[in-house]
Amino acid sequence: MILLQSQSRFLLQTLLNRVQNLEKAVELDYLWVEFSDVRYHILVSTKNPNVLLLSVSLPTPPPEAVFIGGLPGGAIEAIKAAYGVVVHILDPPRDGFNLTLKLNLAKLPPDEEHRYALLVKIASVREVVLGAPLRVVLKHLASRTVVPDVDRVLALVHRPKESFFLVSQPDKVTVVFPMRFKDSIDTAFATSFLQEFVEARRAAGLNNAPPCLWSPTPPLELNEAPAEALSANAGFVSFVIFPRHVEGKKLDRTVWNLSTFHAYVSYHVKCSEGFMHTRMRRRVESLIQALDRAKPGGEEKKKSPNSRSFKRLSLSEARANSIS
């Protein structure tokens, strides 16, 4: 199974190309969408080629997930901690976006390795912003505490008008995903995939992975969640995160994998559909070939206008033809 990368490949490549050509006054105006929910916009003018404006539009939050100033809780602090003086937050952001960052490329670290690491972090702005509240909760878990003044069941946005839930305790955090799919075929594939996903967790080599459960109905941890947020046609997936899963560098990986779990499942559902379609086409082609071979072979081939045929003549017929 493939794991998605945290950085936007297109954004990272654009940043690298711009840094390598700072002496060239080139105008950039790029707009694209990733994960079907996050929209990016890059703007560079020829008047100030060292400044790059990066705008991000986030998924529309459902009623149970609260944005503060158009951003998830803790996003501003996470941006400042991740990017330092290189990035300045514009207030208000550009129209149609939740966040606009002003990047001063002249303030990037001179060391090539540190500069590349910072650009990768900037290209991971989706993880930094959307994963900010999840990161706060998991940081408290690492110290075996809970976030003060936060509901026991916390809803976080991860898709347009859809949320997943955190149930915090000092020694563990339960993460519950209501899995929703629009297409009935996707729903069938996802349900089967998730059941196999849970079974694979029981393998001997995955003893240190977070416990994983699937159920067709909401788990008991979501008794306090609003009923309208618990509609799921592919069931509910629960992960139990312990302090050992968020120690040191494991924190970043855990935040990203949880933030993009639905996209991870959707990717493998589409791959499964493509594989099934390929197998079906090959099977149909083999059946057609078998039917072609089974056709009776008594039919004579039609002669083309240029074809020639020869007939063996007897000795008397040959003499008669020569005389005539």
**Could you say which DSSP state residue 71 is in?**
B
> Distance of alpha carbon 109 from its chain centroid, rounded?
30
3-state secondary structure of 36: coil
- Going residue by residue through the chain, which has 324 residues, state the pLDDT in tens, using 9 for 90 and above: 566 788 899 999 999 999 988 888 789 999 999 877 899 999 999 888 899 999 999 999 998 888 888 999 899 999 999 998 899 999 899 999 999 999 999 899 989 999 999 999 999 999 999 999 999 999 999 999 999 888 888 999 988 889 999 999 999 999 999 999 989 999 999 999 999 988 888 876 788 889 999 999 999 989 888 888 898 999 999 999 999 999 988 998 999 999 889 988 998 898 888 888 888 999 998 888 888 888 776 444 555 555 565 565 566 666 666 665
**CA distance linking residue 87 with residue 100, whole number of Å:** 10
pTM: 0.79
Supply the pLDDT for residue 315. 61
Q: Is 35 left (phi over 0), alpha (psi -120 to 50) or beta?
A: left
Helices marked H in the chain: 9-20, 75-83, 112-123, 125-130, 132-142, 184-201, 250-259, 261-293, 315-323
Pairing label, strands 51-57, 38-44 = antiparallel
Say if residues 100 and 93 touch (Cβ distance below 8 Å): yes
CA distances from 295 to 75, 284, 286, 290, 299 (A): 69, 17, 15, 9, 10
* Bridge partners of residue 241, in order along the sequence: 173
Count CB-CB contacts under 10 A for residue 208: 8
Q: Which two tokens stand for residue 218?
A: 């909401």
pLDDT given at position 305: 57
For the chain, the straight-line distance linking the first and the last C-alpha, in angstroms and rounded, comes to 85
| Distance from C-alpha of 25 to C-alpha of 197, rounded to nearest angstrom | 50
Query: Quick one: tokens of 195?
Result: 């059941």
Domains of the chain: 9-273 (3.30.1460.20)
Q: For residue 154, which phi and psi values (nearest 5 degrees)? A: -110, 125
- Reported as half-sphere exposure (CB side, CA atoms, 13 A), residue 191 has a value of 14
Helix (H) or strand (E) holding 154: strand 153-159
Cβ–Cβ < 8 Å for 161, 61: yes
